[in-house]
Every structure is written in C-alpha cells, then in structure tokens.
Structure 1
Amino acid sequence: MARVLPVVLLMLAAGLATVTAQGWRWRSHGKPGLVNIKSAMAVMKDGKLFGVGGNKKLYERVWTGSSWTWVNHGKPSSGIFNPKNFLEEPCVLRDGKVYMTTIDGDLYERYWTGSQWSFGAHGNPGTKLEGCSAVMGNSGTVFTRGYDGTLRERYWAGSSWAWRNHGKPPGTDAFGTTSSYVIYGPTIRVFVPGSNGHLFRFSLDSNYNGVWRDLGAPSSKSVRKVHATEKGGIFAIMTDGEVCRWSGSWTCYGKPDNKIVWDCSDPFLIESPSININTLFCVHAGSYQEVYQLSVFQGGSGWVNRGKPSGTNTFVDRPTVMFSGPYSRVFVPANDGKVYELYPPGQP
C-alpha cells in the first residue's frame, strides 16, 4: 500500500487541478422577444437548441454562421381552436428531428422536410405520456413514460411509425422520465427510476428482445432522477439531494458545499492523455442557485462551483451541454426567462 498511495494521490491532485483550473465564464442568449424560456434546452448538432416557452410554444436558438438568433416554432393544432401546449424539455433524435410531449399527454415531432419545418402528431398508445429520450441507431427510437407506469417506445417500422409497450419495471412503476443510449452497436439501454426508489435498466437488442434489470439504489437512498450516456456513465440524483453513480456497484459523491442537488446535465467523458474524467453539471435547490461541476476520475472526484449569471438568482430547469469541436458549452434557463451559456477558456 505504501508504494501505491503516492500514485493515487498524484492522480487525485491531477484530476482536481485539471478541472478547477478552467476559468469558465457566463454570457446571455436572451430570450425570444417577451417570452420566457421555461424548459431545459435540448441540443441538436450544428448549433441548434430547442426549448419550451412560458406560452407553451417551441423555440429554437440557432447559430446562423455569423450570429445567434431565436426562431419561434409555435405549436401544433388538432383544430383551429385547439392548439397543443408543450410543457417539458424536448428530446432530439437526430439533426432535423426533435420530439416533445404535450400537457395533455401526446407525443409530437418537429422535423425538417428539406425545405421547411413541420409538426408530426404521434398521439399516444392508450395512456398519456410524459417526457422523452431519443436514440438514433439502426432505426429511429423514442422512449417515454406512460401515466400507467409503463415504458413506451415509439419506433420507425420501415414504412410507418408504431408503438411498443415494454411494461413496468419488475415489481414497481416507471417514475419520472427516461434516459437512453445505444451501446455495442445495436443494443439500446434505457434507464428508468422506479417508484420504489430503485434504478432500472431496460436492454433492447436488435431482435427487439427486451430485458429489465433492477440496479437497486445506494444504501438507505432512493433514486429520483437519472442521466446516462454511453461515454460518461450512469448518474442518478437521490431524493436526499446527493449525486451517485452506478458502475457495477454504487458510489456516491456527496453534495456540493452541502447543498441539495436538484437536477443535472447528461454526463460526458473528457478524454485526456493523463487522466479521463467523467463529468456533469448540476444545479442545487434553494432561492439562490449556482451551477456546480462534478468530475469523477480514477483515484477521486470533486465538485467545482461555476457560479451563476450576473443578476439572476434561480434556474427554471436543468443544464444541458452542447459540444463544439473540442469544447463543451453549458446552457441553462434562468428565472429572468433568459438562457445563459457557461463556456470554458478558449471557446470563441
């Protein structure tokens, strides 16, 4: 042990120094006219983000090549006097395809036809729906939670869209929204909190055979939210406000400055020649909120306070991360209705 300990301490110090030394900054993206943004921003490639406004319409923040601008995508209508209202953070299937659920529990799509944006109605499979997570593998796949506690899948069947019902996690109901990704080629993994406080993984292979697995929860804790990516890991927010990671077993990382974590971005991997770092950005509960970065690496972990935009006190939804070349940008909507960007040094 005496010969191993200095190596571990060196790696711990290197990991913390790598993260802490980055002097991140804030800038404002404003808001679309007089409308406040009320949801997290779903990230699409090529500098596009989508979020829901306080008027229940879909909005896009897009980089035109020379400047950022807001685009009002409105909302679909099942009749002239019956527009559909959006509520939650959208999810992105691929460039030109964004999905969202409505207040009355239907799934809708906003897609680029090649010449214009259009809405597509997917309805619901006999139960109202909440939230979504999207996977682009061999076929377009969107997962969402039914009000009846089931995991539902909307997928492209080759010539039309169809629904699959994957049922409930063993012994409990699906709770909250899902997080999903493709791993090892055709296998899809979906992570769902259960109403019993456990985390569940649903694996779906290329033959559409699905298997549930109960991943449990850390001792004396209950899972409230989950965010997962293939390269970044599986992180869950507990009901007590602590952030924990499942990687064959559970490890917890405490609370930033003893503050209760409210929600986090999806995790991602920072690959370095000296040390790889799994990281995510979180906001805590309270009347004065700041963004904290949690980084996990071989030999240790650490929280770094990235502060808040000037003039704001709280955030209205979780941070999301956009990648631009070697850089990562963090976007988060604040209580003044504006979207703010947290960006690292060297980012244009």
Structure 2
Amino acid sequence: MGSWQWNDQQRPTSTVGVRATLGAVTMKDDPQAVQRPYVFVRGLDSKLHVNWWDGKAWHWSDQGTPGGRRVIEKVGAVTVQDNPTAAQRPYAFVITDDSKLYVNWWDGSKWQWSEQGAPDNRLIREGVGVVSVQNDANAAQRPYAFVITDDFRLWVNWWDGSKWHWSDQGTPPSRIVSRPLGVTTMRDNPNAFTRPYAFVITDDSRVWVNWWDGSKWHWSDQGAPSGQPVKKGAGVVSVQNDPNAVERPYAFVQGYDSKLYVNWWDGSKWNWAAQGAPSGRLILDSVGAVTMKDTPGAFTRPYVFVIGDDSKLYVNWWDGTKWNWAAQGTPAGRVVERPGEALTVQDNPNATQRPYAFVITDDSDLGVNWWSLP
C-alpha cells in the first residue's frame, strides 16, 4: 500500500528563497523512461530557478533572467517532443518587468532564453497557461502560450513548426477578460489533432472558454455556479473514460463563498457541480489540478489540491464512484503560505500515476506532498 509523504525541497540557494512557482512539468528521456519532475520558480532575487529530479536526487539550477530583465509573473510550463520517440524538452514561459513574454527552453543540449515580445504594441498583464498542440499523434508538439494583455483581451503566442506567431483571440461578446482560469487540450480520439481550450473569468465573474473546433475558434459562455459568482480559478484538466475515449474538460473554480466548484463536460452537455470545502474549513487558495490513472487502460480521475484557511493542504479527489476530501496537512513544523503546482509522475508506461503537489512554506522553502508506492 502506498502512502502520502512530505519533502522539504529547500530553496534555490541558502540566501535566496522562493517567491512564487512559475510552472511544473514531467520529463521523459525516452518513451519507456521514468517521468522526472521539473518545478520552475521565481526566487526572491527575481530570477528563474528550477528544482528538478535526475532520477536519483533533487537539484536546484539557476536559469537566470533574459538580458537585463527581472521575472515578475508566470504564464506556465510545458514539454515539447519533436517526435513520439524523442526526449521531452521543457519550455517555461514568464512575464518580465517590461511586460513582455519570454521563454526559457531546453534545445536538447543547453538552455536558451528567447524573447517572444508582446502582441500589437500591447503590454502583457497576466498569463493564462501553456499547452502543447499536435496535428496528429506522430507530429511534433508545438507550444501555445495564452496571455491577457493590458486592454483585457486574450492573445496566444504559438509555434507553427517553423516560426512564432501572435494571434488576437479577442474577448467574449460585450465583456472583458478579467482573470485567468487555466488551459487544457482536447482530443476527439487518440490520433486526432489536439484542440486547445483556454478558460478565463470575465468582469461579471462568469467563466468563458475560448476553444478550437478543428477549423475555427469560438467563445462559449460557461456561466457560473447557481447563485455564486466566480472568484478565481483552481485548475483545468481533461478526463477520459478510457484511452480511446474523447477527452472531456473539467474547469475547477473557487467561488466568493470560498468553496470549490467544477464546470465539466459529460460528453453531451456542460454541467456545474458544487464540490464544497473540507469539513469546517474555507478555501484560501488553490495549488492545481491533475488527473490520475491507476493503469494505462483505466479511467482518469481528477485530483484538485487547495489550501485551507488553516494554511494546510487539502485534496478533493474522485475515487471512481464518488468525490472525497482528504486532509494532507503540512510539512513538519511549517505552514503552507503560498500556492504552487501539481503534477503526476509515472515510474514507467505501465505504472500507476502518482500525484505531487508543490507548495511554498512560511520559510520561503519549496515543499512537496507526494504519493509514494510501497
């Protein structure tokens, strides 16, 4: 039987603590290899740092900053695979103090910084998230980074296979984009084109999604939970009933009542469901959402990690038949001060996926709550 563990990942250096997380990915050196977590953070020095697992030990690496700039906001991190048998390569997208987009990426032999700029003489306000897109299961993966600009419009910076583009996704009808929620991708079948979905919160505290149907972009009004305006996002994932099924988005949000809600696609229509909160608590902030598979052929099960108003970590998870709340506690002698990132790790392609939830503790260290196998 497995068990939950807490680990102190410490900090980038003895004098530089963690200010915020900027994204997390898992890396595979080849399709049969163990997945290795990489967690990108903004240090108190306003530089990019990464905490990564080499297969035997954790390391901190200083990624620095783009020339003369400071890192101020996250957009997200993603991995790119040039073909199905290639090593995965991390890309970490950040916003710097000139309100432009930059990416720190691994070219297969060394790290690079690239300036992505900003769209149409605008300034970038916030990141929404990053996904990888494929034209088919054998194609190269291509990053799409969604951001909100200073005129409260949604834009995407995307790679077509040979060059980068900026595309104006606009706004929902008669609304402006107020806050980010998150991004995911959809596949109608395992060999289909991946279709990006970017969820945002508008100025009337409703959820909208900007999504690609395979030929054009759409805006759809997802509304809000009954009687409850949406305060902030808690994470977005895609769920599958089996490996050959269509993927279905789940967008988790926090209401102004400090409870968790989910907007989810059942295969024919969208639904809202109230997930509540841990017993006797309110939700202070969110860490992230992941999906779990017990076997490669199993149903994917969502896990959503949140911080309670007691500065402890909790998870709302689906066991296959019902939703549960579980108290994950805190690292020994510490409290959870700021949210982080969530991901799953797989020891081999046939293994159970294992959740890892990274948080920042009150001493500005990075902590991780993770599921270990026997």
For normalisation by structure 2, the TM-score amounts to 0.79
| 1:93–1:99 Cα contact (<8 Å) kept | no
When Rg is computed on C-alpha atoms for both structures, the one with the higher figure is 1
- Of 344, 362, 365, 1:338 maps to 365
Aligned to 1:69: 59
Q: Secondary structure at the match of 1:143?
A: strand
* Structure 2 runs not aligned, ≥5 long: 28-35, 81-88, 135-141, 240-248, 265-269
**What is the identity, as a one-letter code, of the residue corresponding to 1:190?**
A
Q: Secondary structure at the match of 1:96?
A: strand
Aligned to 2:30: none
1:215 paired with 2:222, answer: yes
- Of 266, 278, 285, 2:289 maps to 266
Between the two proteins, the alignment pairs up a number of residues equal to 320
Aligned to 1:4: none
Q: Any idea what the Cα deviations from partners look like across 1:261-305, whole Å, max 9, x if unmatched?
A: 2113123144479986422111124xx410101013565322110
- Of 175, 189, 197, 1:189 maps to 197
| 2:26–2:343 Cα contact (<8 Å) kept | no
Distance 2:169 2:16 in 1: 38
Report the structure, 1 or 2, having the larger strand content. 2
Residues 1-348 of structure 1 mapped to structure 2, 5 A cutoff: 23-33=3-13, 34-40=15-21, 42-46=23-27, 47=36, 48-77=38-67, 82-88=68-74, 90-94=76-80, 95-125=89-119, 126-129=121-124, 130-138=126-134, 139-184=142-187, 185-186=192-193, 187-207=195-215, 209-226=216-233, 227-231=235-239, 233-247=250-264, 248-261=270-283, 262-271=285-294, 277-285=301-309, 288-296=310-318, 299-325=321-347, 326=352, 327-346=354-373
Mark the CA change 1:271 to 1:171 in structure 2 (over 3 Å): closer, same or farther. farther
Distance 2:162 2:112 in 1: 19
Deviation at 1:22, TM superposition (A): 6.2
| 1:93–1:134 Cα contact (<8 Å) kept | no
Mark the CA change 1:249 to 1:242 in structure 2 (over 3 Å): closer, same or farther. same
* Percent identity over paired residues: 20
| 1:35–1:55 Cα contact (<8 Å) kept | yes
Q: Any idea what the Cα deviations from partners look like across 1:68-98, whole Å, max 9, x if unmatched?
A: 1100011112xxxx42333336322432322
Report the structure, 1 or 2, having the larger helix content. 1
**What is the identity, as a one-letter code, of the residue corresponding to 1:133?**
G
Mark the CA change 1:219 to 1:204 in structure 2 (over 3 Å): closer, same or farther. same
Q: Any idea what the Cα deviations from partners look like across 1:117-154, whole Å, max 9, x if unmatched?
A: 11000111122221241111123211111121111010
| 1:127–1:146 Cα contact (<8 Å) kept | yes
For normalisation by structure 1, the TM-score amounts to 0.84
Q: Any idea what the Cα deviations from partners look like across 1:14-72, whole Å, max 9, x if unmatched?
A: xxxxxxx9641211111111111121252222322211111110001112233111000
**What is the identity, as a one-letter code, of the residue corresponding to 1:263?**
S
* Structure 1 runs not aligned, ≥5 long: 1-20
